[in-house]
């Protein structure tokens, strides 16, 4: 039987339906897992995504030909049956199930298996072949439980405010920032946001997602106008002149990379919180097992190491080269805005 999905220089391709999933070069028909710009790129003829992903895509890409669908809805495209299922990565994110002549493949996009109270929780999709990210595909990566994470961040913010300083927290503009907003205790002080994050907040609020009150940082915003504030900004904004307006401050990063010794020190951060919207080691293994798939393709992250691990566990595992970025701590984080 021919492969349901193939891997090309434009992206993941379905011959039976003549469409691509998260293509990185222009194609006529693109099925999109979520709104981060390494997965939802400009220049496609037609797009198909969940109704929860569509507002962010329109915000980022402007006028596009975009069809939307709900989770679990069966759509026939040529000789393929397609449906979208929750990935738990960011609001509206999806895994894409493709069935052709009884063979089922799932392209997971980016995902996490722990419910965050913001995104639609991950749902395992039974399949024969599973295409998985492995951004954090090493045993060292294990995320802090949500309740402990909340306590850590709130304690740091409260102590920083009590010391007369501003707490500045680096987080992706789509997904991570809003997850943190639902985690922190807004009674501690005002919450300020970088424009990239506040623009995304506005899009999500408009589609009915509840977030605490936030204030956009402007030229007039300082530590004197908003004492004791928590400032959320994309990681690339930290360490720039943008933060100087806040005077004395404590800087922190919220990222899965904080699990690696030395990363926080190299970023000159005072604190690091171990949290990601990607699956950790246990999450990756649990998700793969839950699908029942025997053939696994690893796309971005620790692909070779994770492929070797899966092969040792009895899977028919393969490495696939893609242009997806996963989670970064450098300027590439702007893919999330």
Asked whether the domain spanning 146-273 has the same topology as the one spanning 6-140+277-336, the reply is no
The 3-state DSSP class for residue 29 equals strand
State the DSSP H helix or E strand holding residue 51, giving kind and residue range, or none if neither: none
Predicted local confidence at residue 2, as pLDDT: 76
What Å distances lie between residue 117 and 63, 90, 98, 195, CA to CA? 31, 10, 28, 24
CA 256, chain centre distance (Å):
11
Q: What is the pLDDT of residues 112-130, one digit of tens each?
A: 999 999 999 999 999 999 9
Please enumerate in sequence order all residues whose Cβ is within 8 A of that of 100, keeping only pairs 6 or more positions apart, or say none. Answer: 4, 14, 16, 17, 79, 80, 81
* Phi/psi-derived region of residue 201, left when phi > 0, alpha when psi is between -120 and 50, beta in every other case: alpha
* pLDDT for the residue 93: 98
Q: Which residues contact 134 (CB under 8 A, 6 or more apart)?
A: 284, 298, 299, 300, 301, 302, 303, 306
* Domain boundaries of the chain, sorted by first residue: 6-140+277-336, 146-273
Q: What are phi and psi of 14, to 5 degrees?
A: -110, 105
How far is the C-alpha of 12 from the C-alpha of 31, rounded, in Å?
A: 10
Which tokens in the block code for residue 116? 């965050």
**Within 146-276, where are the H helices?**
146-162, 176-181, 195-206, 263-266
Task: Please name the residues in contact with 256: beta carbons below 8 A apart, sequence gap of 6 or more.
Answer: 135, 136, 141, 143, 274, 275, 276, 278, 280, 327
- Strand extents, DSSP E, the chain: 6-7, 12-14, 19-21, 29-31, 46-50, 66-69, 75-77, 80-86, 94-100, 103-107, 129-134, 166-170, 191-193, 215-216, 230-233, 249-254, 271-273, 295-301, 316-319
pLDDT the model gives residue 74: 98
| CATH number of the 146-273 domain | 3.40.50.10890
Query: Residues with Cβ < 8 Å from 289, sequence gap 6 or more?
Result: none
Low-confidence residues in the chain, pLDDT < 70: 1, 266, 329-337
Homologous superfamily in CATH for domain 6-140+277-336: Ribonuclease Z/Hydroxyacylglutathione hydrolase-like (3.60.15.10)
- Structure-derived torsion over alpha carbons of residues 70, 135, 126, 128, reported in degrees to the nearest 10: 120
Residue 295: partners with Cβ closer than 8 Å, 6 or more residues away: 128, 129, 130, 315, 316, 317, 318
């Amino acid at each position: 039987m021919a492969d349901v999905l193939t891997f090309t220089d434009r992206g993941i391709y379905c011959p039976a339906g003549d469409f691509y999933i998260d293509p990185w070069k222009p194609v006529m028909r693109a099925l999109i897992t979520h709104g981060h710009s390494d997965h939802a790129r400009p220049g496609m003829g037609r797009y198909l995504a969940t109704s929860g992903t569509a507002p962010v895509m329109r915000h980022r890409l402007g006028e596009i030909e975009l069809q939307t669908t709900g989770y679990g809805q069966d759509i026939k495209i040529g000789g393929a049956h397609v449906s979208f299922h929750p990935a738990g990565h960011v609001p509206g994110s999806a895994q894409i199930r493709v069935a052709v002549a009884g063979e089922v493949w799932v392209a997971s996009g980016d995902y996490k298996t722990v419910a965050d109270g913001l995104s639609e929780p991950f749902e395992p999709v039974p399949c024969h072949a599973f295409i998985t990210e492995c951004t954090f595909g090493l045993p060292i990566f294990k995320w802090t439980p949500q309740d402990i994470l909340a306590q850590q961040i709130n304690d740091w913010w409260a102590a920083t405010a009590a010391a007369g300083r501003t707490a500045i927290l680096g987080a992706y503009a789509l997904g991570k920032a809003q997850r943190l907003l639902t985690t922190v205790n807004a009674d501690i002080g005002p919450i300020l946001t970088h424009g990239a994050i506040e623009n995304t907040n506005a899009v999500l609020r408009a589609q009915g997602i509840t977030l605490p009150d936030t204030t956009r940082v402007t030229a007039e915003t300082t530590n004197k106008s908003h004492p004791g504030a928590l400032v959320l900004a994309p990681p690339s904004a930290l360490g720039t002149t943008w933060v100087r307006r806040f005077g004395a401050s404590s800087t922190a990063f919220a990222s899965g990379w904080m699990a690696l010794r030395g990363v926080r020190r190299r970023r000159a951060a005072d604190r690091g919180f171990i949290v990601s919207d990607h699956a950790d080691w246990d999450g990756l293994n649990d998700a793969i097992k839950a699908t029942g798939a025997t053939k696994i393709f690893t796309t971005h992250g620790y692909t070779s190491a994770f492929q070797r691990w899966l092969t040792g566990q009895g899977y028919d595992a393969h490495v696939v080269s893609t242009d997806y970025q996963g989670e970064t701590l450098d300027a590439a984080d702007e893919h999330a805005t």
